[in-house]
Structure 1
Amino acid sequence: MKSHIQHVKFLLNKGRLFRFLFGIVLTMIFALAGYGLNEVPGFHYVGPLACAMFLAILYRQLWGYPEAVRSGIEFSAKKILRGAIVLYGLKLNMDDVIHHGLGLLLRDVGTVVFAILFTVWLAKRFKADASLSLLLGIGTGVCGAAAIAAVSPILKSDDEDTAIGVGLIALVGTVFAILFTVLRPWLPLTDIQYGIWSGISLHEIAHVALAAAPAGQDALAMALLAKLGRVFLLIPLSFILMYWMKRTGKMRTGTKVESPWFLIGFIAASILGSYVFGKYIVVSPKLMNELSQLTTFMLTMAMVGMGLNVSFKTLREKAMLPLLVLSITSIILVGLTFVTV
C-alpha cells in the first residue's frame, strides 16, 4: 500500500513537472511565432516582442487561458523576465555615459522627470487608470518595454497592466519612429542634432535606432548615447520607486518589498559590460550580439506569459484613456525636446 501511494505521488509530481515545462515551452513557441510574424512586411516596424504578445492575446480571446500549464507560463512571466532584465544590463555602457554623455544625461533627466510627472498628472485629469498610466510614463521616459518590465515588480503591478503597457508603448513608439524618418529631410537640424533629438525623446532603443540610422553613423552614435543615458537612469529611478512604495504605504499590510535581486544583477551586468569585458576579459562581438539576442528572446517569452492574461474586454475598458494620455505626453515631449536641441 505504501509503495502504491509513493508511486501515485511520483506520477502526480511528474505530471506537475511536465505541465510546468510545457508552459515554458508554450511561451517559447509563441515567442518564435512572434519572430516569424516580425518578418512579415509592416510588422518588422513593431518588433518581435510586440508581435508575440499580440499572438498571445489573440490566443487568449479565441481559446482562453491554458490553465493546465499556468505554472510554466507564470515562470516565464516572472522569473525569466527578471533574468532578461539582468542580461539587459550588458547593453548599458556606463563608461560611455559617464565620460562622454554627461551633457546628454542632464537632458535625459529632464525627459524622465517630465514624462513621468506629466503622464501621471494628465491621467488624473482624464480619469485614466492610474497604475497603467504610471507604467506608461516610466516607459516613455526611460526605455520602453524594458523599463516597464523592470519596475512592475517594484510597483506590484499585475501582469495585465504590464502587458498592456508594453503593447501601447510598442505601438506609439513605432508610429513616432516612422514619423521621425519621414520628417527628417525637412527638419532644420544637423545630423548630430537629429540624433540627439531621437535619443532623448523616443521610447525604445529599437525606436531610436530605427529613426536615427537613416541620418548616418554619427547621428546614430549620438542617438544611442543619449538613449543609454536614459537606460542608466533606470537604476536610481528603481530605488526611488522602492523608497516611495515604502514611504507612502502602497504595499499591502504585512507584505514586504520584493528583494530587487534582478536590479542588483542589472547593475552588476552593466559594470561587467562596461569595465570588465573587452578590458580584462576578451569577449567577442559575436558573443555579445548573441547575448543581446538571448535577452530579447527571454523578454519576448515573458511578454507572452503576460499577454495571455489580457482580455479584449479589459483592453477596451482600461486601455483607451491611457493610450490617449500616452499619445499626448509623447507629442508634447517630442515638441519640447525639439526646441531644446
Structure 2
Amino acid sequence: MTTFVSPPIALLLGLIVANLSGHPFLHLNHKATNILLQVSVVGLGFGMNVNSALSAGKEGFLFTVASILSTLILGTFLGKWLKIEKKTAHLISCGTAICGGSAIAAIAPVIKSEDKQTSIALGVIFILNSIALFLFPAVGHWLDLSQKEFGLWCAIAIHDTSSVVGAASKFGPEALQIATTVKLARVLWIIPVALITAVVFKNKSSRIKIPYFIGLFILAMVMNNYVSKTAIIAPYLVSIAKIGLTLTLFLIGAGLNRSILKSVGVKPLFQGILLWIFIAIATLLTILYFN
C-alpha cells in the first residue's frame, strides 16, 4: 500500500473523499485516527536504534523547551491582539507548541472549553498540518537540509505527530528516526503545560490525559535493540506501522469537509498561521546556525 500511496497523497485522497462524497462515520473519525496513530507509532519503534534516539532526544531538548515557551507566550499576545476568545487562542497555541490535535484534546477538558472552541482550534491545526505535509519536504530539499536537520526541524515546527512522521518518512530513514523520537519527547510536555493551564484557568478538578503509548514506543525500541528474536518480526511490524500511518493520514483528510473548514474563521486561522511561521523560521534558523 505505501509503495503506491505516500502519506501526502493519502491525505489528499482523504480530502477529496470528504468533499465529494462525505465521511459516513465522521463522528468516529477522531477516535479512530487517534488509536491508529498511536499503534502505528509504537510499530515504528521496532525500527529505531536506542543510541541514536537518545542522542536525538538530548539534542532536541533545548529546542523543545525554548520553542514551547516562546510559542505559548506569543500565542497569548496574538490572541489578545486579534481579540480571539481566550480558550480558543490557548488551544491553538498549545496545539502549535506541542503536538497538534493530541495537545488540544488533552488541554480542552482542563480549561472546560466549549465544543465550538475545540472544533475551531482543531480545524486550524489540521488545515496547517495538511499544508505542512506537502510543504516541509519540498522546502527541506530546496534548502538541501541533511536528514538530521530536517528531522529536528519538522519534529518541532509541524504540529501533529502524524504529519511529522509522514513528512520525515518521505525525506529519509534517518530523518524519520530523529523526528519521531524528538516529537514523542515533545508530546510529554502535555503534562506540565496542562498543569500550568489548570492553574492559569483556575481549574483544579480536571483530569490530565497522559500519553501512555510513548512508553510502549520506548519498549518496542528497546526490544528491537536488545531482544535478538525481535529482529525476525521487526521489519514486518515497521511495514505494517507505515501502512497504518498512511491510513491515519487518509482518515484525517477525510475528516476535513467543507463545514469544518468554513467554521474555523479568519482570526483563529491567522493566529495559527503567524504562530506556525514563527516556530518554523525560528527553529530552522537555530538548527542551521548551530549545525
Query: Tell me, what secondary structure is at the counterpart of 1:256?
Result: coil
Per-residue deviation, 1:258:
5.6
CA distance in 1, matches of 2:136, 2:234: 34
Shift of 1:319: 0.7
Q: Indicate conservation of the 8 Å contact 1:90/1:269, yes or no.
A: no
Distance between the aligned counterparts of 1:103 and 1:136, measured in 2? Answer: 24
Matched, 1:52 2:14: yes
Residue number in structure 2 paired with 1:233: 185
- Find out whether 1:331 has 2:286 as its counterpart: no
Equivalent positions of 1:82-97 (< 5 A) are: 82-87=34-39, 88-92=41-45, 96-97=49-50
Separation of aligned partners in 2, 1:106 and 1:195 = 17
Are positions 1:205 and 2:152 aligned together?
A: no
Residue 91 of structure 2, aligned match among 121, 131, 150:
131
Q: What secondary structure does 2:233 align onto?
A: coil
**How many angstroms apart in 2 are the aligned matches of 1:137 and 1:239?**
13
Any gaps of 5 or more consecutive residues in structure 2?
Answer: 83-88, 159-163
Within the candidate set 146, 157, 166, 2:126 is matched to 166
The match for 1:110 is 62
Deviation at 1:110, TM superposition (A): 2.3
Q: Deviations over 1:203-254 (max 9, x none)?
A: 323323444x4xxxxxx52x33321331330453133234334444465x8x
Map Cα deviations across residues 252-310 of structure 1 (whole Å, 9 max, x no partner).
Answer: x8x632654xx22x134314422346635542523431233124414542553465761
Q: Which of 247, 258, 270 is the aligned partner of 1:297?
A: 247
Distance 2:15 2:63 in 1: 27
The RMSD of aligned alpha carbons is 3.6
Q: Does 1:279 align with 2:228?
A: yes
Residue-by-residue CA offset, 1:61-117 (whole Å, 9 max, x unaligned):
xx9x98xx6xx422222x3133124302222369734x2343432321122223322
Is the alpha carbon distance of 1:258 and 1:309 closer, same or farther for their aligned partners in structure 2, counting shifts above 3 Å?
A: farther
Q: State the partner residue of 1:122.
A: 74
After superposition, residues 308-327 of structure 1 pair within 5 angstroms as 310-312=260-262, 314-327=264-277
Per the TM alignment, residue 165 of structure 1 is displaced from its structure 2 partner at its CA by 0.3
Corresponding letter in the other structure for 1:74: H
1:326 is displaced (CA, Å) by 0.9
Q: Which amino acid aligns with 1:289?
A: S
What SS is found at the alignment partner of 1:310? helix
Considering Cα pairs closer than 8 Å and 6+ residues apart, tell me whether 1 or 2 has the greater RCO.
Answer: 2
Q: Which has the larger radius of gyration?
A: 1
* Structure 1 segments unaligned to the other structure (5+ residues): 1-31, 139-146, 188-193, 214-219
Equivalence for 2:161: none
Q: Deviations over 1:128-186 (max 9, x none)?
A: 53321321222xxxxxxxx32322221117234223202203314532321221232xx
Native 8 Å contact 2:47 2:221 kept in 1: yes
**CA distance change for structure 1 residues 328 and 236 in 2, over 3 Å: closer, same or farther?**
closer
Equivalent residue pairs, number: 262
1:175 corresponding residue in structure 2? 135
Matched residue, 2:217: 270
1:6 corresponds to:
none
Amino acid corresponding to residue 142 of structure 2 in structure 1 = V
Which residue of the partner structure matches residue 147 of structure 2?
A: 195
8 Å Cα contact 2:151-2:178 kept in structure 1:
yes
| C-alpha separation in 1, matches of 2:167 and 2:122 | 19
Length-normalised TM-score, structure 2: 0.72
CA distance in 1, matches of 2:129, 2:170: 15
